[in-house]
Amino acid sequence: MVKNYLKLALRNLFKSKSTAFINIGGLSIGFLSALLIFTYIKKELSFDRFHSNIDNIYRVLTIDEALGVTSNLVGITMPALSETMQNELTAVEKSVRISTNGRTLVEYDKVPIYAENMVYVEPSLFEVFDYQLVAGHQPTALTAPNTAVLTETMASKIFSSMDPLGKTIRINNSDDLEVVGVMKDPSPFTSMEFDVLVSMVPAESDSNTINYLNSWNSISMVSYVSLSPSAEVDDVKFKMEEIIRQNNVPDNFKVTLQPLTESHLNSSGILFDLFNANKGDANYLYTLAIVGLFVVLIAAFNFMNLSTARSANRAREVGMRKVMGANRGQLAIQFLSESIVICLFSLVVALIGLFVSSTFLDFGLSQNFLVYLLSDSQNILWIVSTVLGLGILAGIYPAFLLSGFSILKVLKGNFKTGTSGVWLRKILVVIQFTASIAMIIGTITVYYQLDYLKSSDKGFEDEQILSINLGDQSLRESGERLRNRLAQIPNVEKMGLSGSMPGRGIGRSGMLPEGADQDDIWIVSSMQVNDEYFDLMGMEIVKGRNYSRDIKSDSATAIIMNEAAVKAIGWEDPIGKKISQGPNERTVIGVVKDFHFANMRHQIEPMILPYQPSSLGNGVLSLKIRQQNLKSTLQEVERIWNEINPNHPFEYSFFNEEFGRQYENDENFASLIVSFTWLAIFIACLGLIGLSMFTAEQRIKEIGIRKVLGANIRTITILLSTEFTKPVVVACLIAMPIAYYFLSDWLNGFAYHVTMPWTAYVLASVLAIVISQLTVSIHAIKAAASNPVNALRNE
* Non-local CB neighbours of 542 within 8 Å, separated by 6+ positions: 563, 591, 592, 593
Q: What is the C-alpha separation between 339 and 631, in angstroms, rounded?
A: 62
Q: What is the C-alpha separation between 793 and 795, in angstroms, rounded?
A: 6
Are the CB atoms for 1 and 337 separated by under 8 Å? no
pLDDT digit string, tens, across residues 275-307: 888 888 888 888 888 888 888 888 888 777 776
Continuous H helices in 106-204: 125-128, 152-159
Q: What is the C-alpha separation between 597 and 591, in angstroms, rounded?
A: 16
With a cut of 70, which residues of the chain have pLDDT below it?
1-18, 71, 307-331, 397-422, 424, 615-618, 690-711, 713, 716-717, 719-720, 778-795
Q: Which residues are paired to 57 by β-bridges? A: 226
* Non-local CB neighbours of 67 within 8 Å, separated by 6+ positions: 252, 516, 520, 521, 522, 523, 568
Q: What is the C-alpha separation between 520 and 522, in angstroms, rounded?
A: 6
Distances in Å between the Cα of 348 and the Cα atoms of 24, 307, 751 are 10, 21, 45
Our measurement of the distance from residue 507's CA atom to the centroid of its chain's CA atoms, rounded to an integer in Å, reads 25
Q: What is the C-alpha separation between 521 and 583, in angstroms, rounded?
A: 15
Are the CB atoms for 167 and 108 separated by under 8 Å? yes
Supply the DSSP symbol for 544: E
User: Phi/psi of residue 325, each to 5°?
Assistant: 110, 0
Q: What is the C-alpha separation between 230 and 257, in angstroms, rounded?
A: 16
* Non-local CB neighbours of 672 within 8 Å, separated by 6+ positions: 37, 40, 288
Question: What is the pLDDT at residue 333?
Answer: 72
* Non-local CB neighbours of 297 within 8 Å, separated by 6+ positions: 431, 435
Question: What is the pLDDT at residue 403?
Answer: 59
Are the CB atoms for 169 and 118 separated by under 8 Å? no
Our measurement of the distance from residue 129's CA atom to the centroid of its chain's CA atoms, rounded to an integer in Å, reads 25
Question: What is the pLDDT at residue 749?
Answer: 79
Q: What is the C-alpha separation between 681 and 415, in angstroms, rounded?
A: 34
Question: What is the pLDDT at residue 402?
Answer: 59
Supply the DSSP symbol for 130: -
Question: What is the pLDDT at residue 700?
Answer: 62
Residue 726, sorted as left (phi over 0), alpha (psi -120 to 50) or beta, turns out to be alpha
Q: What is the C-alpha separation between 448 and 291, in angstroms, rounded?
A: 19
Supply the DSSP symbol for 572: S
* Non-local CB neighbours of 527 within 8 Å, separated by 6+ positions: 498, 499, 500, 506, 507, 597, 607, 609
Total-model pTM = 0.82
Q: What is the 3-state secondary structure (H, E, C) of 242-299?
A: HHHHHCCCCCCEEEEEEEHHHHCCCCCCCECCCCCCCCCCHHHHHHHHHHHHHHHHHH
Q: Which residues are paired to 592 by β-bridges? A: 541, 562
The DSSP H or E segment spanning 526 is strand 522-526
Q: How many other C-beta atoms are found inside a 10 Å radius of the C-beta of residue 784?
A: 22
Cα torsion 377, 383, 387, 389: sign? positive
Nearest one of 632, 623, 625, 633 to 482, comparing CA atoms: 623
Question: What is the pLDDT at residue 615?
Answer: 56
Continuous H helices in 92-189: 125-128, 152-159
Nearest one of 502, 466, 464 to 482, comparing CA atoms: 466
Q: What is the C-alpha separation between 575 and 582, in angstroms, rounded?
A: 21
Question: What is the pLDDT at residue 421?
Answer: 54
